Amino acid sequence: MPNEIPAGPVTVELRVSNSRFITHLAPAAEVATARAFIASIRAKMPDANHHVYAYVIGHGGTTTLGMSDDGEPSGTAGRPALAVLKGSGLGDVVVVVTRYFGGTLLGTGGLVHAYGDSVKAVLAEVVRVEKIARCSLLMVMPYPLYEGVKRQLAGFDSSIDNEEFGTDVTLTVTVRVADAHTIEALLIEQTAGTIEILHTDLD
């Protein structure tokens, strides 16, 4: 089964006994990214009563988990949100459930359901994509090879992240890990060994 991640951010709102539960979900490949997203939601809606969050970074046995009740009774908010998120099979994902209190106390059971249902609702709207392992290649070549190398790279799922034009041309390229060795061998052959692949951060 492929490792799935969210294709992009999603927002869903539920109303439970006059309280508003606004759930924002976003991709997050690192804990720092998740925390930055949580902070951005807090800043966006500073007048809310609670910003409950949960995140799952990674997949399978290499996951990092996080959650917070953010002032709700212990175990009634972050824990059910995280349980639903973990059960979805998604990785590299963060959710923030923002609550505007509507004047009616929900009780512990009501809160557990409200936060769990909020995460279920946003997950129902998520577009899932397969997480593809990528790595970076640093290439140095004479100017006459530049256009030909770019044409070869265009045939792969790749992106040129940086170009430097000095004595030679230096490209920083992100490629799929599965394609990296094929691309290296192809370019070395096509350029008769005049291209230098100085660094790969392959796992």
Report the residue count for the chain. 203
Pair (89, 38) in one structural domain: yes
Domain count, the chain: 2
pLDDT tens for residues 22-34?
999 999 989 999 9
- Residue given tokens 């593809």 in the structure block: 132
Strands 64-68 and 128-130: unpaired
Pair (90, 174) in one structural domain: no
Pair (165, 89) in one structural domain: no
Distance CA 85, CA 176 (A): 27
Q: Is 36 helix (H, G, I), strand (E, B) or coil?
A: helix
- Residue given tokens 């070395």 in the structure block: 188
> Do the Cβ atoms of 62 and 100 come closer than 8 Å?
no
Residue type at position 150: K
* pTM value > 0.95: no
Pair (76, 150) in one structural domain: no
Spatial CB neighbours of 148, under 8 Å, sequence gap ≥ 6: 190, 191
Quote the tokens at residue 185: 């061998």
What does the pLDDT average to over 193-202?
Answer: 76
Question: Where does the pLDDT of residue 66 fall: very low under 50, low under 70, confident under 90, or very high at 90 and above?
Answer: very high
Pair (152, 187) in one structural domain: yes
pLDDT tens for residues 118-172?
999 999 999 888 888 888 999 999 999 999 999 999 999 889 999 999 999 999 9
Q: Which domain holds residue 94?
A: 4-130
Quote the tokens at residue 94: 């963060």
Question: Where does the pLDDT of residue 200 fall: very low under 50, low under 70, confident under 90, or very high at 90 and above?
Answer: low
Calculate helix-pair angle for 177-190, 146-154, nearest 10 degrees. Answer: 140
